[in-house]
Amino acid sequence: MENFDYLIVGSGLFGSTFAHLAANQGKKCLVIDKRPHLGGNVYCENIEGINVHKYGAHIFHTNNKEVWDFVNSIVEFNRYTNSPVANYKGKLYNLPFNMNTFHQMWDVKTPEDAKAKIEEQKAEAVAALNGNEPQNLEEQALTLVGKDIFYTLIKEYTEKQWGRKCTDLPAFIIKRLPLRFVFDNNYFNDRYQGIPIGGYNKLIDGLLDGLECKTDVDFFKSEFRDWRKYADKLVYTGAIDEFFDFRFGKLDWRTVSFKTRIENTPNYQGNAVVNYTSLDEPYTRVIEHKHFEMFGQDVYDCPKTVVSEEYSTEYKPGMEPYYPVNDDRNNLLSEKYRELAFKESDVIFGGRLAEYKYYDMAPIIEHVLNMNI
């Protein structure tokens, strides 16, 4: 086998973007991934002509023009705008909390009336504390938005997400709850957002175009463990604790599981994202994937639809690690692994697993664009 400049472990957005930029500088790269496909968590599976976000709904959004221009130079992005809807016991509310939500909740029609209602309920919550600081998430949220928004749109949803009562969760989890006094259902404040036209696989295919890639290859169980035989440098985007044989112990993760099914109707819920904010349903969200990429008549020209229920799930070994747990134990442990990583001068640790850090997609790309490759 020829000698590579970089062996890149992991073909997610970090690994693929790195490989693309390195190859553009004339560097020889080999990309390996233990999954049977490339793309990491942005990979989509095509079912009934619909791109299904297999590892959770992914919406690209950024304020950074350089990042936006870069991804659009690989594949053009569509005009998808995330505007989720909340369903509480059968009644629908727009998100994020804005004038549409307040109108649906109280029939108010002006920002002044909405503000007055919220201020009245916040004052009630503050009075109930009798001069004490909020002791838990429930008390904190009540002082920030008042009882109606809290009990309808926050309380039970948060309890499903965390698997614990809001009164048992610490107050610091919620520092602020943004309220918009305009009729604007656009979830993100960023200037740019969208989904690659043709799906995320097009983005990954474009980034890795012409590069040597191998799937179904686990770094630790393959010849590449002895990577110095094959490459001058290693780019590692797998889990940092695994790289060091879990020397100090295993890092914890939170995860999400999905139940995906085909519905025999062209339009099941009329929106890509519907949050279920009551404990009546065990799932937190239902995603209807076609709405990320099909608009207008296209929705009806595709006769079926694919929906995924999302469940907040306790992580166990063997499950997909999704979100790092930022408690004291895991912060300390990840710091110890980072110190080891720092000493590996020929290894670049990058991405959400190797840095044990939650990243949105755009910051991952921004990070790689700013690296000295």
Ligand X SMILES: Cc1cc2nc3c(=O)[nH]c(=O)nc-3n(C[C@H](O)[C@H](O)[C@H](O)COP(=O)(O)OP(=O)(O)OC[C@H]3O[C@@H](n4cnc5c(N)ncnc54)[C@H](O)[C@@H]3O)c2cc1C
- Annotated catalytic sites, by residue? 176, 180, 254, 285, 310, 358, 360
Interface with ligand X, residue 359, by CB under 6 A: yes
Q: Which pair of tokens denotes residue 21?
A: 């930029």
DSSP 346: T
Site residues (CB under 6 A) for ligand X, limited to 164-193? none
DSSP letters, 164-203, are S-GGGS-GGG-S------SS---S---SEEE-BTT-HHHH
Among 7, 8, 15, 23, binds ligand X (CB under 6 A): 15
Interface with ligand X, residue 146, by CB under 6 A: no
Per the CB < 8 A criterion, the answer to whether 350 and 235 are in contact is yes
* Nearer to ligand X (CB atom), residue 10 or residue 196: 10
Taking the C-alpha atoms of residue 226 and residue 247, their distance in angstroms, rounded to an integer, is 19
* Nearer to ligand X (CB atom), residue 20 or residue 118: 20
**Least Å distance between CB 222 and ligand X?**
8
Q: Which pair of tokens denotes residue 80?
A: 């998808």
Interface with ligand X, residue 34, by CB under 6 A: yes
Interface with ligand X, residue 367, by CB under 6 A: no
| Choices 12-20, 73-81, 89-97, 337-345 (CB under 6 A): range interacting with ligand X | 12-20
Omega prior to 96 cis, within 30 of 0? yes
The number of C-alpha atoms within 13 Å of 9 and in the hemisphere containing its C-beta is: 30
Site residues (CB under 6 A) for ligand X, limited to 228-247? 237-238
- 191 by Cβ neighbours in 10 Å (0-12 / 13-18 / 19+) ranks as exposed
Please count the other Cβ atoms lying within 10 Å of the Cβ belonging to residue 81. Answer: 14
**Least Å distance between CB 88 and ligand X?**
23
* Nearer to ligand X (CB atom), residue 193 or residue 277: 193
| Choices 161-169, 293-301, 328-336, 349-357 (CB under 6 A): range interacting with ligand X | 349-357
| Choices 52-60, 160-168, 264-272, 282-290 (CB under 6 A): range interacting with ligand X | 52-60
Per the CB < 8 A criterion, the answer to whether 231 and 31 are in contact is no
Per the CB < 8 A criterion, the answer to whether 313 and 204 are in contact is no
| Choices 132-140, 173-181, 301-309, 357-365 (CB under 6 A): range interacting with ligand X | 357-365
# residues contacting ligand X (CB under 6 A)? 34
Interface with ligand X, residue 201, by CB under 6 A: no
Interface with ligand X, residue 11, by CB under 6 A: yes
Interface with ligand X, residue 12, by CB under 6 A: yes
Q: Which pair of tokens denotes residue 220?
A: 């630790």
Taking the C-alpha atoms of residue 312 and residue 255, their distance in angstroms, rounded to an integer, is 7
Among 44, 169, 256, 273, binds ligand X (CB under 6 A): 256
> Pairing mode, if any, of strands 285-288 and 305-313?
antiparallel
Site string for ligand X, 274-313 (x = CB under 6 A): ----------------------------------------
Taking the C-alpha atoms of residue 363 and residue 61, their distance in angstroms, rounded to an integer, is 10
For the range 316-319, what are the long-range contacts, defined as Cβ-Cβ under 8 Å and sequence gap of 24 or more?
A: 317/250, 319/253, 319/255, 319/257
Interface with ligand X, residue 13, by CB under 6 A: yes
Binding residues (CB under 6 A) for ligand X: these are: 9-15, 32-35, 40-42, 56-60, 218-220, 237-238, 256, 322, 351-353, 359-362, 364
